[in-house]
Amino acid sequence: MMRARTRKPARKRPRSHRKEPRGRTANRYRAYPTDEQLVLVKRFGGSCRFVKNLGKEQRDLAWRYGHHSLSYTVQSKEILALRNDSECGTWLREVPAQILQQALVDLNRAYQSFFDGIAGYPQWTRYSGWYSFRDPQDVKLRVKSRRWAEVKIQGLGWMKVRYHRPMQGAGIKSATVVMEPDGKVFISVLAEFHRRQPAKPLVEDWESAVGVDRGVKVAVAAKDGLGNADLIDREMWTPGERKRLRRLEQARERKKSAREKANREIAKENKDREARGDTPLAALAKSRNQEDTERQIAALHARARRRRKDFTEQVSTMLARDHRLSAFEDLHIKSMTASARGSVDAPGKNVHQKAGLTRAILDKGWYALEHRTGEKQVRHGHLHVVVPAPGTSITCPECAHVDKESRVSQSMFVCTNCGYEAHADLNAAEVIRERGMKLALAGGTPVAAHQGTNLGPTLVGAEPGAVGAGQGCGNEETGTSAVEGAA
């Protein structure tokens, strides 16, 4: 093309291609605030909750009565004005303006996600024993020793953190401070990192692709093409903890009903007093003892939650690091774990069993495992794919025969057609793996909307088609045969 020289410069590449794509990563550290800092953490968290709820109320009213929507810019100006108000301004003024504005930014994002159809309608932020707020600017971290570091938060100064591992990523974007119901404080420092693109075509590492089946009896069954088959599980509660939790919950109920009974009598007494014109009695508040019980319950749950998080982080790291592709089932966990009791109009069936299943699903952290593996796969330049779920546990990976009878027991799979035998969960993992490879080869055909969202194709980590030579020539029967042909 000789004319190329005189032609106007080539069309600009789309924005997303100009720079290396960036991702964000959170580094979570246990914080050890001073007594003064602890008071401020609660106060900042409480103020942010107030601002968020106020912002939501404002938006809801504006929509209901004026049919117009409020923008962040308007609300942000108003919150600054409110800080100068003589009444509630005094305690809002103690919180740095940017932290309050960040609460409105988060609220705005929640509304945006709702309008984009990827999240439900923003809810009230209720008091739940959690305090949290985000500092969006000038967060600094300095390492003091091998074990300790300090993070600078606006209005709080430097706060000591246990530096259990080096910061990932560079360029701190923000920090979120959270106080959990058991009183422990954590700081999550968000930093940017560069996403890696797949280093080589997937086909070269095809065998490392892994299928993951999530179960109730065993949390995770993972199988790849290199002969690794793992059943991974962890108990989130010890038997002693379960017993203790039951006892504490019973104590809580006992104390609660006793207090309610006493308060009913006080109310009755107050009616008589009112008639006589006497001063009424005050209602009974929660006792110190009762608050202690609630704190102990919260501490038990916090321990299980941290164990669960540790489990999902470790397993997802292992899956993402060692496997070029990870395939998960597309489980609609939200609808699976929705209340079994149903509504008055449509009462649920098998309420008791379903409640048990729900508890088990939430206990094993099914959602977090898939979500975190996907995030980490992207960071490694690997692929993550979500495949349709129906029939994975009753399909034979050898002959593709589908039969309910093949699942002979909770843990045994024996194909009624060809006699193939395997552990039921590992068999499902194998089927998921094959479906995942097929989907990746096809360039990530959209499956059913992911987790009730409309994010479209669920192949992440690369542009569709970045899977290499095998792309687009996936064999109808199995994905692998196309790869063997290409290699």
* Three-class DSSP category at 211: strand
Query: How far is residue 116 CA from its own chain's centroid?
Result: 19
Q: Closest distance between Zn ion and the C-beta of residue 403, in Å?
A: 9
440 binds Zn ion (CB under 5 A): no
Which of 177, 189, 188 is CA-nearest to residue 39? 177
Q: How many CB atoms lie within 10 A of CB 246?
A: 10
**What is the spatial distance between Cα 152 and Cα 160, in angstroms, rounded to a whole number?**
9
Instruction: Select 414 or 460, whichever has its Cβ closest to Zn ion.
Output: 414
Which pair of structure tokens corresponds to residue 330? Answer: 């597309």
Contact 45, 131 (CB under 8 A): yes
Q: Closest distance between Zn ion and the C-beta of residue 394, in Å?
A: 11
H or E segment at 485? helix 479-486
Instruction: Select 244 or 401, whichever has its Cβ closest to Zn ion.
Output: 401
Instruction: Select 380 or 435, whichever has its Cβ closest to Zn ion.
Output: 435
**What is the spatial distance between Cα 368 and Cα 411, in angstroms, rounded to a whole number?**
24
Contact code string over 416-435 relative to Zn ion, x by CB under 5 A: -xx-x---------------
**What is the spatial distance between Cα 134 and Cα 485, in angstroms, rounded to a whole number?**
52
Which pair of structure tokens corresponds to residue 236? Answer: 């989130």
Q: Closest distance between Zn ion and the C-beta of residue 331, in Å?
A: 24
Contact 459, 383 (CB under 8 A): yes
Instruction: Select 241 or 398, whichever has its Cβ closest to Zn ion.
Output: 398
Instruction: Select 38 or 396, whichever has its Cβ closest to Zn ion.
Output: 396
Q: Closest distance between Zn ion and the C-beta of residue 413, in Å?
A: 10
Instruction: Select 143 or 418, whichever has its Cβ closest to Zn ion.
Output: 418
* Three-class DSSP category at 177: strand
Contact code string over 378-417 relative to Zn ion, x by CB under 5 A: ------------------x-xx-x-------------x-x
**What is the spatial distance between Cα 374 and Cα 385, in angstroms, rounded to a whole number?**
8
Q: Closest distance between Zn ion and the C-beta of residue 427, in Å?
A: 10
| Rg of the chain over all Cα atoms, to the nearest angstrom | 28
Q: Which residues contact 289 (CB under 8 A, 6 or more apart)?
A: 255
Instruction: Select 72 or 420, whichever has its Cβ closest to Zn ion.
Output: 420
Task: Tell me which residues in 330-369 interact with Zn ion (CB under 5 A).
Answer: none
H or E segment at 149? strand 148-153
Q: Closest distance between Zn ion and the C-beta of residue 357, in Å?
A: 28
Q: Closest distance between Zn ion and the C-beta of residue 420, in Å?
A: 4
With 0-12 CB in 10 A as exposed, 13-18 as middle and 19+ as buried, what is 193? Answer: middle
Instruction: Select 149 or 431, whichever has its Cβ closest to Zn ion.
Output: 431
Instruction: Select 373 or 406, whichever has its Cβ closest to Zn ion.
Output: 406
Q: Closest distance between Zn ion and the C-beta of residue 484, in Å?
A: 21
Q: Closest distance between Zn ion and the C-beta of residue 417, in Å?
A: 5
Task: Tell me which residues in 110-129 interact with Zn ion (CB under 5 A).
Answer: none
Say which residue the tokens 């390492």 belong to. 143
Which pair of structure tokens corresponds to residue 11? Answer: 């069309």
CA angle 328, 329, 330 (to 5 degrees): 115
Judged by the rule CB under 5 A, the positions of this chain that interact with Zn ion are 396, 398-399, 401, 415, 417-418, 420
